């Protein structure tokens, strides 16, 4: 989970993930969306996403195609939902304790 969170900390990686969310794209097509970044840098970003399992890679000859790994994204969302929920539960407990203290 840590590698996925670290991967998403970089804005360009989030942009790449959005690009491949619904469509499988070749590396060149992904790179073409980033005029201010070298293809090599985009390749490194894609590698980080792949290594963290947020995107999958399919090879066709010498071409590589990438797509968002929705299953892994679902796990990440579940983790964040649980984290958020437990935080809200702690906040509720503190608020209820404060209310009880006030009423006593």
**Distance from C-alpha of 1 to C-alpha of 59, rounded to nearest angstrom:** 26
Sheet holding 63-68, edge to edge: 25-26, 63-68, 55-60
| 26's tokens | 């070749």
Q: Higher confidence at residue 91 or residue 75?
A: 75
List the domain range (segments joined by +) for residue 7: 2-103
CATH classification of the domain holding 46: 1.10.10.10
pLDDT at 88: 67
Parallel, antiparallel or unpaired: strands 63-68 and 25-26: antiparallel
Question: Which tens digits make up the pLDDT trace of 9-58?
Answer: 999 999 999 999 999 999 999 999 999 999 999 999 999 999 999 999 99
Helices 11-19 and 39-51 pack at an angle, to 10 degrees, of 80
pTM value is: 0.77
Number of domains in the chain: 1
Q: For residue 92, what pLDDT band results from cuts at 50, 70 and 90? A: confident
């Amino acid at each position: 989970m840590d590698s996925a969170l670290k991967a998403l900390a970089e804005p360009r990686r989030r942009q790449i993930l959005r690009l491949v969310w619904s469509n499988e794209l070749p590396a060149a097509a992904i790179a073409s969306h980033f005029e201010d970044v070298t293809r090599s840098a985009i390749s490194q970003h894609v590698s980080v996403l792949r290594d963290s399992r947020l995107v999958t890679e399919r090879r066709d000859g010498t071409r590589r195609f990438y797509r968002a790994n929705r299953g892994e994204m679902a796990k990440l969302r579940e983790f964040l939902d649980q984290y958020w929920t437990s935080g809200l539960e702690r906040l509720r407990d503190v608020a209820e304790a404060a209310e009880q203290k006030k009423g006593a």
